[in-house]
Amino acid sequence: MISFVWSPGEPLPAGTGGSENFTVGHVRELNRRGIEARVVTIGLGTADGRDEFDDIPFHSVATLGDVERLDDTLVFASEAPRTTTVHPAYQILHVPPPLRDHAHASLVAGTQDRTLIATSRYAAALWADFLDVDLDTIHVVYPFAEPEFAIRPRPGSGAEVTRVLYAGRLTPEKGIYTLLSALHTDLFDSDCVSVTVTSAGSDKPQGALIQGLLRSHPGIALVPARRTPAEMASLLAEHDVVVMPSNAQYWHETFGILSIEAQHAGCRVVASRDGGLPETDCGALVLVEPDDAEALAQGILTARRLGPVPEHERADAGRRFTLVDSVTGLLDVLEAVPAPTPSRVIHALEELMSLPSATEPHPRAGADASGTRTAADHAAAPVRVVGSP
């Protein structure tokens, strides 16, 4: 049994982010292959989000201590609580390291006994530096787009209006304020560009506040967040350009699953040239300088000039970052001989340091204080002639 352990005390929400989609998609695909997999939640009973996932097995435990006793292969899918496990465990690093120093020690402690998995090469390097571990010890398992995105038909589009979609969470780090600034540049003409924003993340206080701002903006159509791959694929197919203006001042997108979903669905993506977003290129990616409203506006106009993604390019995009490839990559990590975790390396070094020191060398007979034989010793030594009888 492969159990993906969700954050203690938090339900697994549907349609709110890459880590949720990654977890649910992996469980679904593993079960399809006949490999038992499930989501484990902590401290919530059945009110843990399972109602939104009819085809995903859930298992709820009361405390973190109950997780310690599970005889499963445990993959911690979000937070890294410090706990022991029956078998070697794994930690997926979905988000960037925290900014505040006080979180450093707890994360080092929570991950030191786990095999680490990042979602991009960029994220692996970021976490290796933060945790002070060898980059080669962090595996990369890329996220994916569900098959639904590549096969969703695209309805006809009016050539006069480019339909732009922002579907990230309503938080500053996802770049929503950069988008609002871009809309106020003189580059935008409401007759040629329309903008739609989803309510993803509005269930949090910060998101609710931003949603209120968006409702009052005359140039934005606010629509409900989509909760399933099929719903999201339909929404993407109704748009031409998806924007991902991720903030690079204090947040670095580790990958950006929405980027590959959008490209599979036939959209062009305008994203910040930061973090793992450049690694999401499926052939329809336009990169712009982060935190720059003018650059974002220019990127949208570039995508408009490029026009619709040709069918053969969309088909090629759909063969990259697939669910099958992602799950196969995860299984390769789970089935490999685990490399020493940071904790085991430290323990081995501590054992080495605790060994008694080697005894001091004793001078040989006939040697001076430095251990070197004297000239008199050499003169008195018998001479052996090579080849003599």
Contacts by 203-211, CB closer than 8 A, 24 or more apart: 203/13, 203/16, 204/171, 206/170, 206/171, 206/172, 207/169, 207/170, 207/171, 210/170, 210/171, 210/176, 211/170
Mean pLDDT computed over 319-341: 90
Residues 295 and 223 grouped into a single domain = yes
- pLDDT above 90 (res 239): yes
Residue 223 confidence class, pLDDT cut points 50, 70, 90: very high
Secondary structure class of 9 (helix, strand, coil): coil
Cα separation, 73 vs 149, in Å, equals: 30
Number of domains in the chain: 2
Asked if the structure places residue 374 within a domain, the reply is no
Q: Are 200 and 169 in contact (CB under 8 A)?
A: yes
Residues 301 and 162 grouped into a single domain = yes
Handedness of CA 93, 96, 101, 102 (dihedral sign): negative
Q: Percentages helix, strand, coil for the chain, rounded to the nearest 5?
A: 40, 15, 45
Q: Are 78 and 43 in contact (CB under 8 A)?
A: no
Residues 177 and 233 grouped into a single domain = yes
Residues 140 and 175 grouped into a single domain = no
Q: Is 299 left (phi over 0), alpha (psi -120 to 50) or beta?
A: alpha
Asked if the structure places residue 199 within a domain, the reply is yes
CATH number at residue 252: 3.40.50.2000
Cα separation, 98 vs 227, in Å, equals: 27
Asked if the structure places residue 347 within a domain, the reply is no
**pLDDT for residue 79:** 86
Residues 12 and 159 grouped into a single domain = no
Residue 226: phi and psi, rounded to 5, are -95, 140
Opening angle at CA 209, ends 242 and 46, nearest 5: 85
Q: How would you classify the pairing of strands 220-223 and 193-198?
A: parallel
- pLDDT above 60 (res 218): yes
Residues 276 and 163 grouped into a single domain = yes
Mean pLDDT computed over 77-99: 90
Dihedral of CA atoms 250, 241, 314, 53 in degrees, nearest 10, equals 70
- pLDDT above 90 (res 387): no
**Boundaries of domain holding 15:** 2-144+327-339
Distances (CA, A) of 154 to 124, 149, 280: 35, 10, 21
Residues 129 and 154 grouped into a single domain = no
Asked if the structure places residue 358 within a domain, the reply is no
Say what the pTM is: 0.84
Q: Are 225 and 142 in contact (CB under 8 A)?
A: no
**pLDDT for residue 389:** 39
Residues 153 and 126 grouped into a single domain = no
Residues 108 and 176 grouped into a single domain = no
Q: Cβ contacts of residue 228 below 8 Å, gap of 6+?
A: 14, 15
Residues 198 and 111 grouped into a single domain = no
